[in-house]
Structures are given as structure tokens and as C-alpha cells.
């Protein structure tokens, strides 16, 4: 048979690197599938969109605070003194054909990126996937989250508009509040007293070079560790701590995953095309004497905004020195949150005394205290998030801002313990209730003429689910350690009790001959 | 074989072709507001949906079992590694002084680079405690106009700067004129004149501009507040801008006012306290 073009090229590279068996082995690598495993992929693909759109933007953006007179096509601002950075963003949005679309795509992708990371992390936390040996990858992941927030905040600040400029000013104040080194550090970062003329020019290389480089490196490590340690899986028939049940990388996993990449990019493109985001022309250029009301940052900074708004006006005096309350709200709260995230595997190991390897995931209900702790944390973060928009809440419900603030302050102390208690009780109730065993395949249910429901299979076809064995024809071993789960059964092998119809949906998986190891 | 997925994949890829062409058409016809983006979104989404449908059509929902390789280090491997470490200390680590000197030289290298890092910003030399205000400095609006003592409307907020330094960040001031009888005694003592009061515009919480002034006329009493839009700190302008709500711990520093020979408002001196959020050294 003639060899295909792709095959020939792959072979020519493999033949020069000794990668022949490695390649085949990895194409056959097995990935378990579950909808919740997609969040990490979603984050990865939004990062791809970010790099692609961001590169385009760098061709137009100018990272400079030099003052210029705006002379573009947006009439209300014409003749105003703006920074070169702001001017370049305006030019990109109004004069460059398609520039606004790419810019909005970039901003939406950033919001999706952080959201996907947060969901991915929640999945890993609630299923206990951070336990040994994946505690290592948890630390890499938390670092990636912090880098993503850093990338988001620096990018948000670059246009030098009134909203983001105010955010930078607050950042400056938070750095100033750090004990001992605050003033020196703020002067180093901002090149002197606020506002100075350096900060935009400094954030630019940090945003487009330093942070992306770190993300690339750690993302590579993150994926390499997943690849090396193999993915976790939910318990189910045929699934043990010593195997992975799922689909092979090629073609099924790869095809769906690449499909997801295009779908992600497609949805982000649709958002960029239809929904306006960060209209800097409405905020105006940064002007230190001005401020806007209803000043909410991008969603992922909301918890810090809320912590600043909800912190009572406490000032601590130590000797001849003073600690401002924004140090607690800005530095300490962030430190506790991210420090706590890093410490999750350590704390769980310490509390449970469990240092064993885990490859099977917990159902959240089966680890009530962990789940409750997560629920309490999310409750606290949500209250901080709402606190970041307490003026909007007050306006919506026609209350005074002061009252909303007091209510949220009390809730911040009271709600997490309540959430903890309720979650523990709920988990216990759920896990005590007998439920159906997890099944490998979804079973179609049909409604019969008499109004009842039934499974349109005969017993032979579904008894594997009840037994907890392998589905006829749907499992195949690609290993020599076949003894772990018994010899693989092909659909043609009649099973006891089967009436011979068991091969209806059989896929012949012909990989048994090639051992993984 | 899943016939529906087969059809879906075909339709999806065809739609993607239409999307891509629509995007190109949109660009050439200057329809970059929506048509370009939606076209590209359809192209990308079509390809994605097509690929997933294709995978479904192939019915690749397979369940393959792969064994995990053990990840833990075996005792033999550990011993091997220990041997390697031992060999290193026996060869490279044999010369103690040399090792110490190497470590010292690396440390010195780090110390040598502290200087350039320090160049990123000057050392603070009290800039945070000074502003552009001084004895006799005129208050001017953002347009540079001085303010006559007998001209203001009551309960109207203006942002003013020291003459010649309009826009200087640390010197921004909110100027208000209120009926003199609503002002507290200490506010007048600290330099209110004829109902005019001036406060630093930089919030003592996180440094935003305190740009909102509101009056609540509802009985029983009229309430006036200066509010920072960032974190909703509220200050009472009739009583030396003391904090009355929100996270700000301190009052806005008050600028003592005088009237010069021409009848314009001037500052009596710089602020008696640092403006803006308090730092470690500003107790």
C-alpha cells in the first residue's frame, strides 16, 4: 500500500530522532473522559487565543505615557491631551480595520481564561485530584493561576484609561502600605512618586514577555506532568487505582480536543464581535484629578476590590510606625488566599494522615469536610466579590451603601461557617442515600406506549453495569498486565446469560498486541 | 455508524466555509464592526463543531484500559542515586575552600546587581510629605482661573490646584462653599473662610480622587458628604472631612485658606499632614 504524505513526514522525523516507538505509544495513550475534565483544556485553548490575538495587538500598541493631542476619528475626545498608550489603543479601536474586534476578543479571552482556570481548580479540589502524586502539579497550577491574574491585571492597565489608571493608583497605595519597605518599593516599581511617567512602559514588557514566558514554561511542565502521571478517573466498573479507562489520544481524544479548541476560539470570537468590552473611549484618558463612579475592575480582581471596600477603617500603630488598613485588605487577604491554595495538599495530608497515591477521584459527597471547606471558601470569596460592587447592589435594591457594607461584613464572618455546616450535612445525606452505580455508557431510556419508562436493551446488554464488569466489546486492554482485570473480552465471546445479541454496539479495539510499557 | 453526526459534520464544515468567506467579504466592504467578527466566529465554531461531530460519527466513544506505571522510587533506584551523590561530594566537594569561594563569588555577583535594580526608582526623600501648596499660593481651577472669595455658589464642588501646577497629582484639592453656619468650629479654626473649605482630594484610603459631593435634603437634617467613588469612603465636609463611612481611617487633610490683597483665595501654608493613604513611615 502506498504510504501517505503525513505518514512519510512523521516517519522521516521519527527516523532521525529515534522517536518511533515513543510516538506510537503516545498516540495510544489513554485519557479518561468526563465533562469536568474539559475546564483545563478550555483554559489552555483560551491561552492560545490570547497569544494569537495579543501578538496582533502588540503591532499597534505603544507602551508610553508621553502626552500627545488626540486627533483621531472619535469626535468627543478630539483635541484632548492623552498618553501615547491611550492614543494607540484608540487608533487600534477606531482606525485599524478589525482592530477593535481583535482587541475585544483578547479581553474576552482573558476573562474566559481566568474563569476556566478557576473552574478547573475547583474540579481538582472537590474531587481530591490534588493528592499525591499530583500535589506537585497542584503547586504548578496555583502558580499558573497567579500568573494569569498578573497577566490579566497588567493587560487591563495598559490602555491608560481612567478606570485602569485608578486601579494602578490603588495598587500604588497598597504597595506604599507595606511595612518597612513600602515607600521604597513603590518608588522602585513606579519610578518615583505617583503617577510618574514610567509605569505603562514598564508594565508592557511584563505583560507581553515576562509573564507569558513564565506561563509557557509552567504550562509545559503542567501538561508534561499530566502526561507522565496520567489523568485521574472517577471510580466505575473496571476502573482501579492501577489503570486508566478511557479513549486513546489518537484519533478520538485529539479530534474532540482540537474540536474544543476551535469551539473555544469561535465562542470568544463571537463575544468579541457582538459584546462590547472595556470601551476606553467612554472612560476617557487617565487624569489624576478625576475619578469615575461605578468603578468595577475585571471580574477576577473583584475579590480584592471587595476586600478593600469591606475592611473596617482600622489602623495599627506600632512604635512610631503605622499599618494602614489597605495592607490587611490588599496584601494580607491576598496572601492568605494564595498561601492557602498552595497549602491545600499539605493541610489535607496533615488532617487525614493520608500520604498514599490516589488515581481514583473522590465524589465530592464522599469527602464531606473537604467539600465543606471548599464551599465555605467559595462563599467567602463570593461575598468579597459582591462587596466589590456594593454600590451597584445598594443602587439596585435602593439601600444605603453603608447598610449593604455592614450586611456584607457580617455575612463574611457568618456565612462561611453556615455553608460549611450545611455542606457537611448535605454530603452525608447524599452519600447515605443508595444511588445507581456509575455506569460506563449512558443508557438511553425510552418511554413506552403505556406511559412507563424502560431501557430498550435486553438484560444481556446491561448486566455488565450491574455486575461492575466490562461492557461487551467496549473495553480492551492495551497492556500485558491483563491479569489485573482479567483477559479482555471481545464482543464475539458469548458471555454467560447472554443471548448472543451482545455485539450490537461493539467496536473492535485492536491494540492489545502493543504493550504500553 | 451515527448518521446524524455525519450530516452534522458536513453541515458544520460547509457553514465554516460560508463563515470564512463572509468574514473576508465583511472586511473588504468595511463591515468590520460585526460582520467580520461574526464570520470568523462562525468559521471557527463550524470547524470545532464539525470535528466533534466527525469524532461522534466515527463512534470513537471507546473504553480502552491502560495500566499505570508505578511512580514511586524503588529502593534500588534510591540507592543508586545516593551513590551518585556520594561520588559528587567525594570529587567536586573535596576542595572545601574552592567550594566556599565559588559560593561566595556567586553571592557577590548577586550583590553587584543590586545597584542596577535600585536605579528603577529614586529613594523616597520626603516627597510624599510635601505638596505644591505653600504660604500665599493661589487656588486656581483646572483652567487656571483664580477664585474670588465673594463669587462662589453654595454647595458646589470644584477641583483646584496650586497656581502654576495645575494637574499636579499630590496637590489636588476639593474646594467647597457652604453656608458658614453649617461648618463646625474646628473646621473654621483650621482655615475655612467665609464658608469656603478646601480639602485634599486624595482619599486617605487608597488614593483615589474624592470626586463625589452629595446633599441629602430629607428631614430631619441636611446631610452633606464627600464620597470616594472607588471604595465608597464618605467624609463630612462640614466637620474637617472626618470619615463617616467606608474604609477610610483618616480625615482628608484640610488646606487652611486666606484671602490675598486682590480678593482671591490663597493657601495659608502646605497641608499640616501628609496627603493620601498613610504609609509605614507617616505615623
**Site from A266, A392, A512 to mutate, B interface, most B CB atoms within 10 angstroms:** A266
Between positions 80 and 139 of B, the ones with CB within 8 A of A are 117-118, 120-124, 127-128
Residues of chain A contacting B210 with CB distance shorter than 8 Å? 291
Homologous superfamily in CATH for domain A33-235+252-294+326-361: Cytochrome Bc1 Complex; Chain C (1.20.810.10)
3-state helix, strand, coil in chain B (%, to 5): 35, 20, 45
Residues of chain A contacting B233 with CB distance shorter than 8 Å? 313
**Site from B46, B62, B173 to mutate, A interface, most A CB atoms within 10 angstroms:** B62
Question: Cα separation of B104 and B96, whole Å?
Answer: 12
Confidence at residue A510, expressed as pLDDT on a 0 to 100 scale: 37
Q: Is A473 left (phi over 0), alpha (psi -120 to 50) or beta?
A: left
Confidence at residue B61, expressed as pLDDT on a 0 to 100 scale: 63
Question: Cα separation of A139 and A130, whole Å?
Answer: 9
C-alpha cell at A352: 487525614
Element at A138 (helix H, strand E): helix A135-157
Confidence at residue A460, expressed as pLDDT on a 0 to 100 scale: 45
Subunit contact B277:A244, Cβ cutoff 8 A: no
Q: Is B42 helix (H, G, I), strand (E, B) or coil?
A: helix
Between positions 102 and 121 of A, the ones with CB within 8 A of B are 104-105
Confidence at residue A435, expressed as pLDDT on a 0 to 100 scale: 57
**Strands A81-83, A243-248: parallel, antiparallel or unpaired by DSSP?**
unpaired
pLDDT tens, position by position, B173-216: 999 999 988 999 999 999 999 999 999 999 999 999 998 898 88
The whole-number average pLDDT for the span B87-92 is 86
Confidence at residue A346, expressed as pLDDT on a 0 to 100 scale: 97
Subunit contact B121:A190, Cβ cutoff 8 A: yes
Confidence at residue A140, expressed as pLDDT on a 0 to 100 scale: 98
The gap from C-alpha B83 to its chain's centroid, in whole angstroms, comes to 54
Query: Is B3 touching A (CB cutoff 8 A)?
Result: no
pLDDT tens, position by position, B132-166: 999 999 999 988 999 998 887 888 889 999 999 99
Q: Classify burial at B216, counting beta carbons within 10 Å of its beta carbon; exposed 0-12, middle 13-18, buried 19 or more.
A: exposed
Confidence at residue B282, expressed as pLDDT on a 0 to 100 scale: 82
Instruction: For residue A259, give the nearest of B43, B55, B279 by CB distance.
Output: B55
Subunit contact B278:A191, Cβ cutoff 8 A: no
B154: distance to nearest CA of chain A, Å?
21
Question: Cα separation of A77 and A377, whole Å?
Answer: 44
Between positions 242 and 261 of B, the ones with CB within 8 A of A are 243, 245-250
Instruction: For residue A269, give the nearest of B44, B50, B209 by CB distance.
Output: B44
Instruction: Give every CB contact of residue B251 below 8 A, 6+ residues apart in sequence.
Output: B204, B235, B240, B241, B242, B243
Q: Do A28 and A248 touch, CB atoms closer than 8 A?
A: yes
Confidence at residue A444, expressed as pLDDT on a 0 to 100 scale: 52
What's the mean per-residue pLDDT of chain B? 91
Q: Classify residue B52 by its DSSP letter.
A: H
C-alpha cell at B93: 566537594
- What are the 10-residue block averages of pLDDT along chain A, 517 residues in total? 76 84 83 91 97 97 95 93 95 94 97 97 96 95 98 96 92 94 94 91 97 97 94 86 86 90 97 94 88 82 95 89 92 96 96 93 93 97 95 92 94 97 95 61 59 56 44 43 34 40 37 37
What is the C-alpha radius of gyration for chain A, rounded to an integer number of angstroms?
A: 28
Instruction: Give every CB contact of residue A40 below 8 A, 6+ residues apart in sequence.
Output: A116, A120
Query: Is B57 touching A (CB cutoff 8 A)?
Result: no
Residues of chain A contacting B142 with CB distance shorter than 8 Å? 289
**DSSP codes, A237-298:** TT--TTEEEEEEIIIIIHHHHHHHHHHHHHHHHHHHHHS----HHHH-B--TT---SS----
Query: Is B5 touching A (CB cutoff 8 A)?
Result: no
Query: Is A49 touching B (CB cutoff 8 A)?
Result: no
Omega before residue A195 within 30° of 0, cis? yes
Q: Give the residue ranges of DSSP H helices in A275-400.
A: 280-283, 302-310, 325-326, 333-352, 368-387, 390-396
Confidence at residue A517, expressed as pLDDT on a 0 to 100 scale: 34
Confidence at residue A11, expressed as pLDDT on a 0 to 100 scale: 83
Confidence at residue A505, expressed as pLDDT on a 0 to 100 scale: 35
Subunit contact A308:B59, Cβ cutoff 8 A: no
Amino acid at each position: 500500500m502506498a504510504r501517505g504524505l503525513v505518514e512519510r513526514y512523521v516517519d522521516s522525523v521519527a527516523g532521525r530522532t529515534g522517536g518511533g516507538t515513543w510516538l506510537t505509544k503516545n498516540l495510544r495513550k489513554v485519557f479518561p473522559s468526563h465533562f469536568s475534565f474539559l475546564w483545563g483544556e478550555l483554559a489552555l485553548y483560551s491561552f492560545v487565543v490570547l497569544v494569537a490575538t495579543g501578538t496582533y495587538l502588540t503591532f499597534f500598541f505603544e507602551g508610553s505615557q508621553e502626552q500627545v493631542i488626540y486627533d483621531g476619528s472619535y469626535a468627543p475626545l478630539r483635541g484632548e491631551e492623552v498618553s501615547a498608550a491611550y492614543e494607540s489603543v484608540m487608533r487600534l479601536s477606531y482606525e485599524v480595520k478589525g482592530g477593535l474586534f481583535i482587541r475585544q476578543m483578547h479581553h474576552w479571552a482573558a476573562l474566559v481564561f481566568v474563569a476556566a482556570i478557576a473552574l478547573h481548580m475547583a474540579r481538582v479540589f472537590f474531587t481530591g485530584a490534588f493528592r499525591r502524586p499530583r500535589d506537585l502539579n497542584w503547586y504548578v497550577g496555583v502558580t499558573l493561576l497567579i500568573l494569569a491574574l498578573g497577566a490579566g491585571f497588567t493587560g487591563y492597565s495598559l490602555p491608560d484609561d481612567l478606570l485602569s489608571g485608578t486601579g494602578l493608583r490603588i495598587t500604588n497605595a497598597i504597595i506604599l502600605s507595606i511595612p518597612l519597605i513600602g515607600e521604597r518599593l513603590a518608588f522602585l516599581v513606579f519610578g518615583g512618586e505617583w503617577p510618574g511617567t514610567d509605569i505603562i512602559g514598564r508594565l508592557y514588557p511584563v505583560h507581553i514577555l515576562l509573564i507569558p514566558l513564565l506561563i509557557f514554561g509552567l504550562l509545559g511542565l503542567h501538561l508534561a506532568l499530566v502526561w507522565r502521571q496520567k489523568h485521574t478517573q472517577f471510580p466505575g466498573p473496571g476502573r482501579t487505582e492501577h489503570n486508566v479507562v478511557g479513549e486513546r489520544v489518537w484519533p478520538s481524544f485529539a479530534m474532540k480536543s482540537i474540536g474544543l479548541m476551535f469551539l473555544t476560539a469561535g465562542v470568544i470570537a463571537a463575544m468579541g464581535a457582538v459584546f462590547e468590552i472595556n470601551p476606553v473611549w467612554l472612560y476617557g484618558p487617565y487624569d489624576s484629578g478625576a475619578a469615575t463612579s461605578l468603578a468595577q475592575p475585571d471580574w477576577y480582581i473583584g475579590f480584592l476590590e471587595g476586600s478593600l471596600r469591606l475592611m473596617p477603617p482600622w489602623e495599627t500603630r506600632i512604635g512610631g510606625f503605622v499599618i494602614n488598613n489597605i495592607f490587611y485588605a490588599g496584601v494580607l487577604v491576598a496572601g492568605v488566599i494564595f498561601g492557602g491554595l498552595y497549602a491545600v495538599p499539605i493541610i489535607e495530608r496533615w488532617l487525614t494522615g493520608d500520604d498514599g497515591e490516589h488515581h481514583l477521584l473522590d465524589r465530592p459527597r464522599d469527602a464531606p469536610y473537604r467539600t465543606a471547606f471548599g464551599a465555605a471558601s467559595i462563599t467567602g470569596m463570593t461575598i468579597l466579590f459582591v462587596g466589590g460592587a456594593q454600590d451597584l447592589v445598594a443602587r439596585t435594591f435602593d439601600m444605603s451603601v453603608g447598610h449593604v457594607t455592614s450586611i456584607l461584613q457580617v455575612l463574611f464572618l457568618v456565612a462561611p461557617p453556615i455553608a460549611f455546616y450545611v455542606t457537611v450535612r448535605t454530603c452525608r445525606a447524599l452519600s447515605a442515600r443508595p444511588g445507581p452505580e456509575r455506569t460506563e455508557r449512558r443508557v438511553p431510556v425510552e418511554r413506552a406506549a403505556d406511559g412507563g419508562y424502560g431501557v430498550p436493551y435486553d438484560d444481556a446488554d446491561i448486566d455488565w453495569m450491574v455486575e461492575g464488569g466490562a461492557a461487551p466489546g467496549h473495553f480492551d486492554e492495551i497492556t500485558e498486565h491483563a491479569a489485573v482485570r482479567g483477559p479482555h473480552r471481545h464482543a464475539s465471546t458469548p458471555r454467560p446469560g447472554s443471548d448472543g445479541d451482545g455485539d450490537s454496539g461493539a467496536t473492535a479495539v485492536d491494540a492489545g498486541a502493543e504493550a504500553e510499557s | 455508524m451515527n448518521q446524524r453526526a455525519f450530516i452534522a459534520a458536513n453541515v458544520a464544515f460547509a457553514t465554516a466555509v460560508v463563515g470564512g468567506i463572509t468574514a473576508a467579504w465583511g472586511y473588504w466592504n468595511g463591515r468590520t464592526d460585526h460582520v467580520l467578527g461574526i464570520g470568523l466566529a462562525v468559521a471557527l465554531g463550524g470547524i470545532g463543531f464539525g470535528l466533534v461531530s466527525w469524532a461522534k460519527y466515527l463512534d470513537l466513544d471507546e473504553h480502552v484500559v491502560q495500566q499505570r506505571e508505578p511512580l514511586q522510587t524503588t529502593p534500588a533506584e534510591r540507592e543508586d542515586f545516593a551513590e551518585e551523590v556520594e561520588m559528587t561530594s567525594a570529587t567536586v566537594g573535596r576542595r572545601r575552600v574552592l567550594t566556599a569561594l565559588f559560593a561566595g563569588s556567586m553571592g557577590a555577583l548577586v550583590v553587584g546587581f543590586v545597584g542596577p535594580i535600585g536605579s528603577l526608582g529614586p529613594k523616597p526623600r520626603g516627597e510624599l510629605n510635601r505638596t505644591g501648596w505653600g504660604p500665599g499660593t493661589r487656588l486656581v481651577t483646572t483652567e487656571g482661573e483664580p477664585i474670588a472669595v465673594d463669587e462662589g455658589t453654595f454647595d458646589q464642588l470644584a477641583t483646584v490646584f496650586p497656581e502654576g501646577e495645575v494637574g499636579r497629582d499630590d496637590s489636588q484639592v476639593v474646594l467647597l462653599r457652604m453656608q458658614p453656619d453649617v461648618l463646625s468650629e474646628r473646621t473654621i479654626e483650621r482655615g475655612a473662610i467665609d464658608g469656603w473649605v478646601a480639602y485634599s482630594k486624595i482619599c486617605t484610603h487608597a488614593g483615589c480622587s474624592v470626586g463625589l459631593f452629595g446633599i441629602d435634603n430629607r428631614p430631619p437634617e441636611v446631610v452633606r458628604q464627600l464620597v470616594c467613588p472607588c471604595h465608597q469612603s464618605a467624609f463630612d465636609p462640614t466637620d474637617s472631612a472626618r470619615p463617616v463611612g467606608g474604609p477610610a481611617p483618616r480625615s482628608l487633610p484640610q488646606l487652611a485658606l486666606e484671602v490675598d490683597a486682590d480678593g482671591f483665595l490663597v493657601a495659608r501654608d502646605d497641608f499640616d499632614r501628609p496627603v493620601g493613604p498613610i504609609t509605614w513611615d507617616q505615623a
